[in-house]
Amino acid sequence: GQQLNQSPQSMFIQEGEDVSMNCTSSSIFNTWLWYKQEPGEGPVLLIALYKAGELTSNGRLTAQFGITRKDSFLNISASIPSDVGIYFCAGHYNTDKLIFGTGTRLQVFP
Amino acid sequence: DAGVIQSPRHEVTEMGQEVTLRCKPISGHDYLFWYRQTMMRGLELLIYFNNNVPIDDSGMPEDRFSAKMPNASFSTLKIQPSEPRDSAVYFCASSFFSGYYGYTFGSGTRLTVV
């Protein structure tokens, strides 16, 4: 099935560093969502974006809905060890289902 | 709200055996999705239901897989006969109003077929 391209595939960073990841699509979306999956658990919704150009924050997380509607970005500031996990983007456009990204695996070292 | 509840959390079975995975969606959600996650293929949508009716099962790998949703509060994913390549984490997710507001995922069932 269709998947969105996420980059980078994985990141190994030191505690306190900022993190940036992005998600791109060949199709436009009306909704962009960002999920985090911790080991042994299902993905959990972090941020939802509904308008092109929208910038939304959730604590140290900030996400943006790209102006072209074909991409989205997630930034994490001042990373901490509990940020470890896999981050997924997902897009939605007038269909029943979300299209998920391939995931960015984040590892944070103290 | 208890969230999406999946059982069992872990299942180890022998090749050739039947496996049944269970899911209770969030009350009031009208969509239910079954996903499979592996390192190689990531998150794969297997099948989804709207108001208990299967809408798209094009992701079901083969006839060995079947899914049912007899009522709004229960769904099953069955594999018969199971094979080692079916080993993966299977997630159930539910949502209100398709994917617009996102899905709520269960904690998953880790299936190992030996």
Structure tokens at B30: 């009208």
> Would you say residue B32 has pLDDT above 80?
yes
pLDDT computed for residue B68 by the predictor: 98
pLDDT computed for residue B40 by the predictor: 87
Interface test with B, best of A97, A99, A105 (most B CBs within 10 A): A97
Residue B108: list chain A partners with CB under 8 A: 40-42
CA A16 to centroid of chain Cα atoms: 19
pLDDT tens by residue, chain A, 110 residues: 677 999 999 999 999 999 999 999 999 999 999 999 999 999 999 999 999 999 999 999 999 999 999 999 999 999 999 999 999 999 998 777 899 999 999 999 98
pLDDT computed for residue A6 by the predictor: 96
pLDDT computed for residue A1 by the predictor: 60
- Residue B60's nearest CA partner among B39, B80, B31 is B80
- Residue A104's nearest CA partner among B49, B83, B42, B38 is B42
Structure tokens at A9: 């595939």
pLDDT computed for residue B6 by the predictor: 98
Residue A10: list chain B partners with CB under 8 A: none
Mean pLDDT of B64-92: 97
Q: What is the rounded distance in angstroms from the CA atom of residue A87 to the CA atom of residue A106?
A: 8
Find out whether A44 and A36 touch, Cβ atoms under 8 Å: yes
